Amino acid sequence: MTGCKPSDTLIEVHSKLGDSDEGVPVKKERYQCLMRKLIYLSRTRPDISYAISLVSQFMQAPYERYMEAVTRILRYLKSTPGKGLMLRKHEKRCIEAYTDSDWVGSVMNRKSTSGYCTFMWGNLVTWRSKKQGVVARSSAEAEYKAMSLGICEEIWLKKVLILLRTVMVP
């Protein structure tokens, strides 16, 4: 991939990767190996997390169009070598959580995907994108489910900070 053409975007706009037996199957071992590496890389590159979560759903039966999506992610990574997490010192001492969801985002089972990111003292510390357990009846319901995940993460971070203060201060 060193000689590939870089890409400005991770995935095609409005691309819906679905479960379909149409297409040419690819080597499962190669696909899974690439996915393991990309999942590991997403720990320090939150910008690729959503795209990785989309293509990782097809690790058991990868087809050529899924491999093309993975290749596009690799091309994007080539065009953005300097991106990653940057931690800075801030005076603002608070925890903030931002959430979002898509409504009926999966073409396979009509489930929505929730996502959140939390900032502690102005720095991104946790993020997650996960398919919801049940089908939401409305976009508002999908948003509320996403919000509850973000609030739970924020509460957990506050409890960790309280615990660390009691452990560090004798």
Q: Which of 127, 126, 97, 130 is nearest to 111 (CA)?
A: 130
What would the pLDDT profile of 29-39 be if each residue is shown by its tens digit? 999 999 999 99
Quote the domain boundaries for residue 54.
1-85
The residue among 45, 61, 85 that closes a domain is: 85
Residue with tokens 């660390």: 164
Q: 143 forms bridges with which residues in the sheet?
A: none
| Same structural domain, 103 and 75 | no
**Is residue 81 located within the same domain as residue 1?**
yes
Region 150-166: what's the mean pLDDT?
A: 91
| Number of domains the chain contains | 2
Identify the bridge partners of residue 95 per DSSP, sorted by sequence position: 120
Say whether pLDDT at 169 is over 60. Answer: no
Containing H/E element for 101?
strand 95-102
